[in-house]
Structure 1
């Protein structure tokens, strides 16, 4: 089964080049950490209020992303194992067929041809299964990407309810941000908040089970 190990490409979930928010009002919040104060000062000076999230860092830190990635990898491992078992059985049947042909093990030519057709049909079934399993895994991956994207999008709307940012970018593997002022990277703030929600959700779920 030729299929590269699919590590969940959750970069797609942050593939939104930007998230633009309607409000442009900026308010200086009391009790904010030093990083946020830096952003507030930039806004007060008339600088376009922008922030970014390091996608790779967020995915390594966010519990839900880690959990979904592990679940998808388990499904991939199971499908690969099931496919390989069936492929080994077919290979053994083909080897046995060749041995019987070489040793005149079939009662008639018609019987040998029938067995050959059966093996060819089985081989086509395995190819179809390989395609089906690959498509199912791709569908699972896209579904998980949408789940994470929606989770992040919903949280960022709440996070930016005060309109402090007009633009939030996704920095993938450091390709999109060459320089940033202190406080522009909000990855830690977002990941901590998302993990707090995720843990709270898990606790509530465990209590109801």
Structure 2
């Protein structure tokens, strides 16, 4: 199940690296016209950045998704461990009978060996299927996260008028930025204000 853990822990960081790396609005020059020749008049740009690591730890929607995924992973691990223990017990019993010549015939021993081999293959296939399903669901969650944030930013920027909102994950994108341009807290508060947990929505 280590592979499952790596998938769950790794997908989130990859999925959100590019969430904010996009233009939030059109840049215009001082006369109100668009900058000519594709050049951007930097003096007119209004830029902000969001700390993705902080956003992920404080956005309730993402935390709820992760909690649900952790529970699902635990259930999968418990199921696979139980089946593995059962198979191990049967394999040990097979070895004991084989050593004590307890099988009525060689053919019967070969049949039991084939059955255990098939059961082991089925368990491996089950593990692969459940792991793939878990990875697919985690990818779906990452897309939901991206769509949720992008939808919020479109509404948010109608009144803020930023030319660009940049993502910052550790030192991957920004080596330095004045904290005055950090709008992480404002974005997290806005996202959480419009998020209704599924459990609360059902009441």
Q: Under a length normalisation based on structure 2, what TM-score does the superposition of the two structures give?
A: 0.84
> Mean alpha-carbon deviation: is it higher for 95-104 or for 165-174?
165-174
Distance 1:183 1:58 in 2: 17
Gaps of 5+ in 1: 27-44
Matched, 1:10 2:12: yes
Residue 65 of structure 1: CA displacement?
0.8
Against the structure 1 CA distance between its residues 99 and 208, is the aligned structure 2 distance closer, same or farther, given a 3 Å change threshold? closer
Q: In 1, are the aligned partners of 2:25 and 2:162 still within 8 Å (CA)?
A: no
Give the structure 1 partner of residue 39 of structure 2.
none
- Find the residue that maps to 1:56 and give its secondary structure: helix
Residue 174 of structure 1: CA displacement?
3.2
- Find the residue that maps to 1:81 and give its secondary structure: helix
Q: Under a length normalisation based on structure 1, what TM-score does the superposition of the two structures give?
A: 0.82
Residue 13 of structure 1: CA displacement?
3.8
Distance 1:175 1:208 in 2: 40
Against the structure 1 CA distance between its residues 190 and 163, is the aligned structure 2 distance closer, same or farther, given a 3 Å change threshold? closer
Gaps of 5+ in 2: 30-41
- Find the residue that maps to 1:169 and give its secondary structure: strand
Q: In 2, are the aligned partners of 1:12 and 1:145 still within 8 Å (CA)?
A: no
Give the structure 2 partner of residue 80 of structure 1.
77
1:21 corresponds to which of 13, 19, 24: 24
- Find the residue that maps to 2:126 and give its secondary structure: helix
Distance 2:28 2:73 in 1: 47
Q: In 2, are the aligned partners of 1:7 and 1:73 still within 8 Å (CA)?
A: no
Residue 86 of structure 1: CA displacement?
0.3
Q: In 2, are the aligned partners of 1:54 and 1:174 still within 8 Å (CA)?
A: no
State the Cα RMSD in Å.
2.4
> Residue deviations 1:40-67, cap 9 Å, x none?
xxxxx91532221111100111111111
- Find the residue that maps to 1:23 and give its secondary structure: coil
1:185 corresponds to which of 165, 182, 195: 182
Q: Which structure features the higher share of helix residues? A: 2
Residue 172 of structure 1: CA displacement?
1.3
Give the structure 2 partner of residue 118 of structure 1.
115
Counting only pairs closer than 5 Å after superposition, residues 1-209 of structure 1 correspond to structure 2 as 1-5=1-5, 6-7=8-9, 9-16=11-18, 18-24=21-27, 46=43, 48-162=45-159, 164-198=161-195, 201-202=196-197, 206=200, 209=203
Q: In 1, are the aligned partners of 2:50 and 2:183 still within 8 Å (CA)?
A: yes
> Mean alpha-carbon deviation: is it higher for 172-181 or for 82-91?
172-181
Count matched residues: 189
Against the structure 1 CA distance between its residues 183 and 47, is the aligned structure 2 distance closer, same or farther, given a 3 Å change threshold? farther
- Find the residue that maps to 1:127 and give its secondary structure: helix
